[in-house]
Structure 1
Amino acid sequence: MLLFRVAALATALGVPALAQAAPTHYPLTIENCATALTFQHAPQRAVTIGQAGTEMLYALGLGDKLVGTSLWFNDVSDQYKAQNDKVERLADNDPSFEAVIGKRPELVAVQLEWMVGPQGVVGTREQFHELNIPTYLMPSDCEGKDNLVGADGTRLQPFRIDSLYKSISQLAQIFDVQDRGEELNAVLNARLERSLASIKGKDLKHTSALFWFSSADLDIDPYVAGRKGIPDFMLNTLGVRNVVESDEEWPTVGWETLAKANPTFVVIARMDRRRFPADDYQKKLEFLRSDPVTRNMDAVKNNRIIILDADAMQASLRLFDGFETLANAIHNSNAAQ
């Protein structure tokens, strides 16, 4: 059913039919974030640490291979709910190392290197590999990025959408479903092109935006999107300037500084997790409209506040939902001519 939906969407978007991809030949070795991973056969049991990888596997029709998930920002997409209900959630946030290996996985797919990496809160790659459990890190979080600098890492190079497509292609290759990966990437790219076409002709040279992900507490500096990261890529692709200049992925910046920058739009994250008070987007809205500094920002006074799923601000399938929402808001706004 999932593959039927992808094929139907491809047809609706005018994506040309793709040639049948060559099957995977095992043993398969791929380079992943400076580590060589070898698979003797397609994994039969996988665990995901991160919503992005979970929904990628569902979209590739591989939900029956998933035996455990963790690290969720939003509820699962409606089209994957029935499949997701069959998979054990090991943790809403970071799982324990013991919980992951207890599922006897033949692959652990990881969205963020601070979960599994040199300082991983779940464990290091070496710990997993010593048990012959390959760890696949999403290239979008390790390529051109230093995850040892800043709370969420620092971008050395701007995020590239190709790294997201690469995750899909490599996961499809690992599981020997390359044709599904190629078709899914074609659909996603077509959606991106349609979003860009919807704002063609708009003069955005004076348009700017701020992405607010969350805050450890509402009365302290917020976590906002820095330069070179995924939200910055979204804005640059659409022709909008990010008012935050830090290269950290999600730096904390004072509201006085942000208010002085006076962005045209404020984009806030909606999430279902509740790690911090500001995870609740309604509390973000209340703060913006009541705080004596933020309530005088043009974006707040003119209700130019855009709400996106938190996972749409990351290298995930929902990134394309985020593009569509942003493009639609810009298209309908009088602030962008």
Structure 2
Amino acid sequence: MSIENCGRTLTIDAEPQRVVSLWQSVTEELLALGLRDRIVAVQGNYAPYPESVAEQAQGLTSIGTSMGFPSKEVLLSQAPDFVAGQVLDGFAFDASQGYASVEELEQSGVTVYGANLCTSADAQTDAWSIDTAAKTLSDLGKIFNVSDKADEVIDRLNADKEAVVQAVAGEPTVKTAYFNGGTGPVIVLAGGVYDSLITTAGGENVFPSDAIYVSKEEFAASDPDAILVGTFEGQDFASQKQFLEENFPEMRAVKDGRISEVPTQETDSSISVMVGLTKIANALHPDLQLTVPTS
């Protein structure tokens, strides 16, 4: 079969049997499709696996770390026939860092699939959205001949999304900041999937799509109605909340106590994306008290 991926036509003669995943969200999608027996190695996880796939994830061979990718030699030692990465430019495929490039892998007979994103620039555009996970799941379903299972997972994600869309219809738009740490400048999450999630949940990101680092003065001036705190492994929500309260006491969201945790894992293009969406909707519209789906 052939499939279009990141401006390339991938022709696959047989279902891949030796898969290496170089990003956790991709690993989660493979596990959700029942492909545990095909995964020979993964980069490493950057957060606990969702409950629905945690048992399957036990015992996976890790050849990297949460943010460290395997060298070319280590990757090729796994004899993969299929490698999936979050983006195809740089990062896991950066030859200057000693990693195998996409071209080198393809020359070795490996199919390389860009899951969720194609280039790093996509991260802050609408090419990366709340629906990206469904596209990746659909592609993987075709590649591994498990489209029925992929459709089942996608249908569940779409149902969870629609529940939020229906619930927030008619609700006032909430000015929202998504804080991701830092003490000055501070880090904000904007553009791409973050804007897509906030908008779908009935909000509006107070920062432009290309914002990443903003000064404390800029952050204070944004004066959002609500602040989301994107925590990750090793980061404590209580301390992040305390930082906001101590440094921005005059901010409307801080005065009103509208600071809510939404782990970044749940806003990635993964099987947990609608968990993040529902938590955001609850943070922006507390009266809704939507039931958070299982991941």
**Superposition TM-score, scaled by structure 1 size:** 0.77
- Which of 175, 181, 187 is the equivalent residue of 1:208? 175
- Which of 1, 13, 21 is the equivalent residue of 1:48? 21
Aligned pair count? 284
Could you tell which deviates more after superposition, 184-193 or 307-316?
307-316
SS of the residue 1:89 aligns to: coil
Match of 1:22 in 2: none
Match of 2:200 in 1: 237
Q: Is the 8 A contact 1:198 1:328 kept in 2?
A: no
Q: 2:60 & 2:125 partners in 1: Cα distance?
A: 36
Match of 2:136 in 1: 167
Q: Aligned letter for 1:223? A: I
- 1:95 and 1:117, CA in 2 relative to 1: closer, same or farther beyond 3 A? closer
Q: 2:96 & 2:203 partners in 1: Cα distance?
A: 34
Q: 2:96 & 2:241 partners in 1: Cα distance?
A: 33
Runs (5+) with no aligned partner, structure 1: 1-27
Using the TM superposition, give the Cα deviation of residue 200 of structure 1 relative to its aligned residue in structure 2, in angstroms: 2.9
Alignment of 1:268 onto 2:233: no
Q: Is the 8 A contact 1:128 1:134 kept in 2?
A: yes
Alignment of 1:141 onto 2:117: yes
Q: 1:320 & 1:176 partners in 2: Cα distance?
A: 25
Alignment of 1:163-312 (within 5 A): 163-204=132-173, 207-215=174-182, 218=183, 220-227=184-191, 229-245=192-208, 247-248=209-210, 251-272=212-233, 274=234, 279-291=235-247, 294-312=248-266
Q: Aligned letter for 1:316? A: S
Runs (5+) with no aligned partner, structure 2: 289-295
Match of 2:35 in 1: 62
Q: 2:286 & 2:130 partners in 1: Cα distance?
A: 25
Q: Aligned letter for 1:231? A: Y
Alignment of 1:22-37 (within 5 A): 28-37=1-10
**Superposition TM-score, scaled by structure 2 size:** 0.87
Using the TM superposition, give the Cα deviation of residue 48 of structure 1 relative to its aligned residue in structure 2, in angstroms: 0.8
Match of 2:70 in 1: 96
- 1:154 and 1:85, CA in 2 relative to 1: closer, same or farther beyond 3 A? closer
Q: Is the 8 A contact 2:24 2:43 kept in 1?
A: yes
Using the TM superposition, give the Cα deviation of residue 156 of structure 1 relative to its aligned residue in structure 2, in angstroms: 4.9
Q: 1:295 & 1:189 partners in 2: Cα distance?
A: 39
Q: Aligned letter for 2:242? A: E
SS of the residue 1:296 aligns to: coil
Q: 1:42 & 1:301 partners in 2: Cα distance?
A: 56
SS of the residue 2:34 aligns to: coil
Match of 2:291 in 1: none
RMSD between superposed Cα atoms in Å: 2.3
Alignment of 1:130 onto 2:93: no
